[in-house]
Amino acid sequence: MPVIHLEMLPGRTTEQKRDFAREVTRVAVETLKCKPESVDVVITEVPKIHWAKGGELLG
């Protein structure tokens, strides 16, 4: 079973996340030749205060 993890900053709408999950599942099914119900998509929103880039916290 493919498990696809996405970590991102907060701010996307539920609809954007829903669209992402649908599209990434479609591509996984097409590429990996698996059933849609076997694909899990996990979206984790990480607050800016917990995300650093270039050694600096974003929040």
Catalytic residues: 2
Place of tokens 């880039």: 53
Q: Rounded to the nearest 5 degrees, what angle is found at the Cα of 58, between the Cα atoms of 14 and 5?
A: 45
Burial of 15 (0-12, 13-18, 19+ CB in 10 A): exposed
